[in-house]
Amino acid sequence: MSDTRGTVAAAVAPRPRVVVIGCGFGGLAAVRGLGSALEITVIDRANHHLFQPLLYQVATGGLSATAIASPIRYILRRHHNVRTLMAEVETIDAGQRQVLTDVGPVPYDYLVVAAGAGTWYFGNDEWPRHAAGLKTLDDALRIRNRVLQAFEAAEAEPGSDARGAKLSFAVVGAGPTGVELAGTLAEIARDTLRDEFRHIDTRHARIMLIEGGPRVLPTFSEAGSRAAQRQLERLGVEVMCAHRVIGIDADGLDLSDADGRPLRIDAGTVLWAAGVRANPLGATLGVPLDRGGRVIVEPDLSLPRHPEVFVIGDLAALPQHQPPVPGVAPAAKQMGRCAAGNIRASIEGRARRNFRYVDYGSLATIGRNAAVAERGSLRLAGWPAWAFWLFVHIFFLIGFRNRFVVMIDWAWSYLTFERFARIITGPLRKRGER
Amino acid sequence: MSDTRGTVAAAVAPRPRVVVIGCGFGGLAAVRGLGSALEITVIDRANHHLFQPLLYQVATGGLSATAIASPIRYILRRHHNVRTLMAEVETIDAGQRQVLTDVGPVPYDYLVVAAGAGTWYFGNDEWPRHAAGLKTLDDALRIRNRVLQAFEAAEAEPGSDARGAKLSFAVVGAGPTGVELAGTLAEIARDTLRDEFRHIDTRHARIMLIEGGPRVLPTFSEAGSRAAQRQLERLGVEVMCAHRVIGIDADGLDLSDADGRPLRIDAGTVLWAAGVRANPLGATLGVPLDRGGRVIVEPDLSLPRHPEVFVIGDLAALPQHQPPVPGVAPAAKQMGRCAAGNIRASIEGRARRNFRYVDYGSLATIGRNAAVAERGSLRLAGWPAWAFWLFVHIFFLIGFRNRFVVMIDWAWSYLTFERFARIITGPLRKRGER
């Protein structure tokens, strides 16, 4: 702490201006770590911070969109040195030290880029139309609409073959998001919707989880993968590992198995949880990127030859860090705190610190009472892992009200098997359209 | 009650088929009134029943969309004789006794048409683009986006004149919806957003309520109107009565005062609460309509020459009924129960009953602790009216969970002045677009 933080000193020398791009877990942690002595501008294209780990709950009608999102302005309302700007960043001009946005340029002395990653379809331009990704609130609401409309369309369908295809759901990618989506879809079909339809039996819905690699949850231990697959199959999910997707169209998917044999699957609804790619903003920095489009940073998270620019979260690559830093919320938060500390260190004339990821373990939920949790040699599965998952997620939710409301909603769902947020909004898909 | 309701009798003679179009207050009351002996199909273009009186709360970020909407299937899941069909009704063929939908024809023995009313811009095709109406959940989310984006755009705007226009909101029509919207917008600008912006002072936002008639809340007593206007003005709303709208464009409105003098108003956001018109489906019945497009029905709510067809709610006109039946939720519910009773009477060989509206009074809310309530000579204003309004609205909300969640959300908002559902979703308006 130095005296330059006082208001008198600030009136004499202008306060350093820090711009933070993106207010996800990383950006928000950076803002909080920067303290009250600097002039901070947070730029985000959305007006809300999103609690992404629960996005699949919105996509499956378990939580309302507003339960997992808080206005950024509201979160930062008491940080009087922080200005929030809702804008689209077009490019970063590191030479002139300014960020160019659709509402004009924003100059900076220090910059933190926390723009995250988006859904990636491996370069297949047709696939996004047929397979919905899950990265934003709008994505989640689109998936919710598609899933609910699939059951509605099946109920209205006279032919039984067409009905079967409409009741087939394929989830591509068996990382935590894919596992959560598949498990929850199975629960919806089996329990939530059971009594609500007259022409179809929703329990006959087919839920497939398709993974290119040899096992589900590839970042977990083999025992964890096995436990997850067992729990998924108990819920009625068809797990198809070692199957690569080679085509997606309006009626289903074309797969290729481990021996290269083709396999066709009819599915009225395809959800995509297979690939992410760093925000293209990283490419405007003019420095080397890794294969995933991520910016290769120095050990202190700054840009080579631009010590005033930091890149954190899913947009940052630290090739020298072993083991590799995973693209998860705790890593983004830790990077945000590290970048903020290094900016303060530079201003206060102290030495910077290299980033070191502290691994608190991995968690994935599958459904009611079903989850896996791992930390080092500690492994949980089933009910204890699920309870732990619930506790951790509610604990880290932003804001007291959200925590409380989500808790009530979950208690309600748990007791009644009901998912209240099953509302179709927005433009409807016409018949025959995807 | 007759023996034909028993399962044995039902197996011998097919049960009469009743189709109900629209699952608003009227349609839902009809379904509930029809009992379990008939074969009922409910057709709605949405998958949810909507608690319309609280729609303005969604439009202003006080409640999430899912708090005031319940899936129709869920509401009716234990009515095993009821089938729900999410479909768009294209036309009614009263001669062939079938409803033609986008998923095929649905035959009926009895029909209840409860298709309601939509926003009406007095035939001005350009106005809907510039002035958002408030009839559906999508309407409410569109208004929420526009209002929140207006504040965001003002914060990003460097010029102070343009900033002022962006912070000007005009609500057209001072019925209950217009009064609620204007009062709530004033509260948002004055209290909710106060600490969240750095460049603008949201308390300087201009909120105008424009009414063609001589006073606000024209269906209330003159004393009630005066009380409402006083409460609106205390909140900072500019009430402009006796001003007709003659034009709406991208930058504001053209008005004409009582003496025909023109007046131009700059407003970045225009909300429309001035007109409703009956669903065009009524016109496909081939019977006379009134000026508002409503179907003129017999005293028992059936169609002239089609005693098996009933029209209820905002779509029905009862010219012989004095005083006129207002277009409010209690009237729709009473009509639904009456039509259901008359269908059962016909089936059971009893005489039908004419519809008689029972007026339980009028209620309109203006803001925190501000409302007016009237029943006969009983008149309340201010805090007691507001408390009564709160109680009534929570009491009539569908479903225990919704009631509970809305209560908690309101308690939270009341204590903190916060409106949590201030999330911008969906496609954003580009700069310069409306």
> What are the beta bridge partners of residue B19?
B41, B111
Question: What's the pLDDT tens digit per position in B186-214?
Answer: 999 999 998 999 999 999 999 999 999 99
Q: Are A223 and A379 in contact (CB under 8 A)?
A: yes
Rounded to the nearest angstrom, the gap between the alpha carbon of residue B115 and the centroid of all alpha carbons in its chain is 12
Nearest CA in chain B to A199: B83
Question: What's the pLDDT tens digit per position in A158-182?
Answer: 888 889 999 999 999 999 999 999 9
Nearest CA in chain B to A105: B156
Question: What's the pLDDT tens digit per position in B352-402?
Answer: 999 999 999 999 999 888 999 999 888 999 999 999 888 888 888 877 677
Best residue of B23, B47, B157, B199 to probe chain A, by most A CBs closer than 10 Å: B47
- Orientation angle between helical segments B400-416 and A400-416, nearest 10 degrees: 170
Nearest CA in chain B to A411: B401
Identify the three-state secondary structure at position A210. strand
Best residue of B41, B423, B429 to probe chain A, by most A CBs closer than 10 Å: B423
- Cβ distance of B401 and A421 shorter than 8 Å: no
The nearest CA of chain A is from the CA of B55 a distance in Å of 14
Per CB-CB distance under 8 Å, the chain A contacts of B64 are 64-67
Alpha helix locations (H) across B235-382?
329-347
Q: Are B77 and A196 in contact (CB under 8 A)?
A: yes
Neighbouring residues of A8: CB distance < 8 A, sequence distance ≥ 6: none
Angle at B375 between CA B373 and CA B379, to 5 degrees: 50
Best residue of A82, A420, A428, A433 to probe chain B, by most B CBs closer than 10 Å: A420
Residue B105: burial class (beta carbons within 10 Å; 0-12, 13-18, 19+): exposed
Q: Which residues of B are catalytic?
A: 180
- What ipTM score was computed for the predicted complex, to two decimals? 0.89
Of A64, A87, A199, the CB nearest to B66: A64
- Cβ distance of B420 and A401 shorter than 8 Å: yes
| pLDDT, one tens digit for every residue, chain B (434 residues) | 344 444 444 445 689 999 999 999 999 999 999 999 999 999 999 999 999 999 999 999 999 999 899 999 999 999 999 999 999 999 999 999 999 999 999 999 999 999 999 999 999 999 999 999 999 999 999 999 999 999 999 999 888 888 999 999 999 999 999 999 999 999 999 999 989 999 999 999 999 999 999 999 999 999 999 999 999 999 999 999 999 999 999 999 999 999 999 999 999 999 999 989 999 999 999 999 999 999 999 999 999 999 999 999 999 999 999 999 999 999 999 999 999 999 999 999 999 999 999 999 999 999 888 999 999 888 999 999 999 888 888 888 877 677 888 888 888 888 888 788 888 887 665 544 44
- pTM as predicted: 0.91
- Cβ distance of A412 and B401 shorter than 8 Å: yes
Residue A180's φ and ψ, nearest 5 degrees, are -60, -45
* Cα–Cα separations (whole angstroms), residue A280 to A60, A103, A283, A310: 29, 19, 6, 16
Handedness of CA A24, A27, A32, A38 (dihedral sign): negative
Q: How many residues would you count in chain A? A: 434
Exposed e or buried b for every residue in A38-66, given b needs 16+ CB within 10 A?
bbbbbbbbbbbbbbbbbbbbbbbbbbbbb
Q: How many residues would you count in chain B? A: 434
- Strand (E) or helix (H) holding B30: helix B25-34
Of A86, A424, A431, the CB nearest to B47: A424
